[in-house]
């Protein structure tokens, strides 16, 4: 694929409505304004910069806030830089998958322990990636089966389909797509690729219509949804990246700092839920009448369960419908 940035008729701001932006501001704002209402002295890491919608809101609301924006997608970084050009003196852009979090802080001249006040994760595929026809994320149009968020590196979805064994394909579809018919679909893929290797999405969608029983198709949503999710997660190592980044992100927070996670499917949300649950636990042995010094919880939850988009927001921005938001605040740091 060419390294040239494609021409986009719409500006980033016109192509992207940030999900739950108001709620993210409510949750992160207190951590960013502890020194001054302008955000002076505070650092926010937007670990999934995308087209910069969330960052634009924070930089506008807090005129002295410093921001570090991470993204693995070079096209997204280019568009975000255009969108946020008026704030460029307060931003450090870093091309990295978000589990390069600690290295990104070093690149920005910060320590990886206790140096930031807020961290935002808006997980999953971005609006831009869904809208780009040649990226292959959407099953509604015939497009090359790429699905890489960083198009400069790594195997494509077509590579996965054409080279993985039956067992590997079934594992990916079952684990990352929670697909009931993973084995049947994997068999059909292996059979078809012998005579017709997969290059674009339409033949895969046609195969899925054949492989998934009609009764399930009538009640289970689009038959390609789970397979496309599974391929995307596999190609981009999304769950590995999420597992790898939670510790560095939490370690980087100052006492009083906050982190917000927006997940878009149960696999992501489950990882976040379990990780935060560990961080709100006390290390005082059960049964002792008082908390031992230095053994109390390091974090407290800011949300009760996973928050969802309101009906009003979902109506304005349909891509917010599946979001699950969780947030936590660092309240102590153990030695």
Binding-site sequence positions for S-adenosyl-L-methionine: 52-54, 71, 98, 122, 129
Residue written as token pair 């609301």 = 61
Identify whether the C-beta of residue 147 lies closer than 8 Å to the C-beta of residue 133: no
| Cβ contact 244:273 at 8 Å | no
d(CA 19, CA 54): 8
- Burial profile 191-213: b = 16 or more Cβ within 10 angstroms, e = fewer: ebbeeeebeebebbbebbeebbe
Quick count: other Cβ atoms within 10 Å of Cβ 3? 7
Residue showing tokens 């981009």: 236
Distance CA 125, CA 148 (A): 10
Buried b (16+ CB within 10 A) or exposed e, 124-140: bbbbbbeebeebbbbbe
Contacts of residue 91, Cβ cutoff 8 Å, sequence gap at least 6: 55, 59, 66, 67, 68, 69, 84
Contact between 127 and 319 under an 8 Å Cβ cutoff? The reply is yes
Beta partners for residue 326, in sequence order? 261
Cβ proximity of 228 and 234 under 8 Å: no
Q: What Cα–Cα distance (Å) separates residue 137 from each residue in 134, 155, 310?
A: 9, 14, 26
Q: Which residues are annotated as a binding site?
A: 52-54, 71, 98, 122, 129
């Amino acid at each position: 694929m060419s390294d040239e940035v494609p021409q986009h008729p719409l500006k980033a701001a016109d192509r992207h409505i940030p999900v739950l932006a108001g709620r993210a501001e409510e949750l992160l704002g207190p951590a960013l304004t502890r020194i001054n209402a302008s955000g002076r002295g505070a650092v926010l890491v937007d670990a999934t910069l995308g087209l910069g919608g969330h960052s634009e809101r924070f930089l506008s609301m807090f005129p002295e806030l410093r921001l570090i924006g991470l993204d693995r997608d070079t096209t997204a970084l280019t568009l975000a830089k255009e969108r946020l050009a008026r704030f460029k003196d307060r931003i450090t852009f870093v091309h990295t998958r978000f589990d390069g979090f600690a290295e990104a802080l070093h690149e920005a001249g910060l320590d990886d322990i206790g140096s930031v006040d807020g961290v935002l994760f808006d997980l999953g595929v971005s609006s831009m990636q869904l809208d780009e026809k040649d990226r292959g994320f959407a099953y509604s149009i015939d497009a090359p089966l790429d699905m890489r968020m960083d198009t400069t590196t790594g195997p494509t979805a077509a590579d996965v389909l054409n080279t993985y064994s039956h067992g590997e394909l079934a594992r990916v579809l079952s684990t990352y797509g929670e697909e009931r018919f993973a084995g049947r679909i994997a068999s059909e893929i292996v059979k078809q690729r012998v005579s017709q290797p997969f290059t674009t999405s339409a033949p895969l969608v046609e195969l899925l219509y054949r492989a998934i029983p009609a009764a399930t198709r009538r009640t289970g949503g689009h038959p390609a949804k789970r397979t496309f999710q599974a391929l995307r997660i596999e190609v981009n190592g999304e769950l590995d990246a999420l597992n790898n980044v939670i510790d560095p992100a939490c370690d980087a927070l100052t006492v009083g700092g906050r982190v917000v996670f927006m997940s878009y499917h149960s696999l992501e949300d489950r990882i976040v839920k379990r990780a935060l649950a560990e961080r709100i636990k006390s290390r005082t042995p059960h049964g002792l009448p008082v908390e031992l010094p230095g053994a109390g919880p390091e974090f407290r939850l800011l949300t009760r369960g996973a928050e969802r988009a309101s009906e009003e927001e979902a109506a304005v921005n349909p891509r917010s419908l599946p979001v699950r938001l969780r947030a936590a605040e660092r309240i102590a740091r153990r030695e």
